[in-house]
Amino acid sequence: MNTVKPIRDLEKVAAMKEVLMNQHERNYFLFVLGINTGLRISDLLKLKVGDVRNKNHIVITEQKTGKLKRFKINNDLKRHITDFTVKKEEAEYLFKSRRGNARIHRVQAWKILNTAAKEVGLDEIGRHTLRKTFGYHFYQKYKDVAVLQQIFNHSSPSVTMRYIGINQDIIDEAVDDLVYKIVQFLIQARYM
């Protein structure tokens, strides 16, 4: 089983946006909404135009937890919502299938993201990538795991840190540092 990771590199985020926009505006908007809200893909896919158009917050009951979730829509995201929904009906799914009025499902969302990821040279992409990318960049900016834990409805800060890949980053950095120190020691020992 592959590990799903956040997209850490902002240049890769931009590349994903470009590829997805070239695929279809819906695919681009799925990515943008996901990385700006941290909502689970199952909750994103259920959203309708009326849930986000002219709103200040996205308010949902999370499918997985059954908990009420309220998420602020920032000005940049409002602009994307306005652009994407301009010719759409209130009752229409945001992420409508190209065939009929039904919404796309999780497998289709994964295929969309995976195809774009391969094109920009990313692996370890999955349905949690958008949520993890949001969390990773939120943490990098604010360093506030308690707020992020609350946003994600996680049971502990350690769960949140592991989920967004920060624990692995810390481990990787420590191993790199240790190897560097060993090499430096060996070099110094050679010249003594």
* Residues taking part in catalysis: 40, 64, 128, 131, 154, 163
How far is it, in rounded angstroms, from Cα 75 to Cα 55? Answer: 11
Question: Which is nearest to 43 in space by CA: 125, 102, 103?
Answer: 103
**109 and 95 Cβ atoms separated by less than 8 Å:** yes
C-alpha distances in angstroms, 109 versus 23, 31, 112, 179?
A: 13, 10, 5, 40
DSSP state of 172: H
**35 and 135 Cβ atoms separated by less than 8 Å:** no
Question: Which is nearest to 95 in space by CA: 145, 158, 49?
Answer: 49
Name the amino acid, one letter, at 115: T
- Helix (H) / strand (E) element for 18: namely helix 10-23
**137 and 14 Cβ atoms separated by less than 8 Å:** no
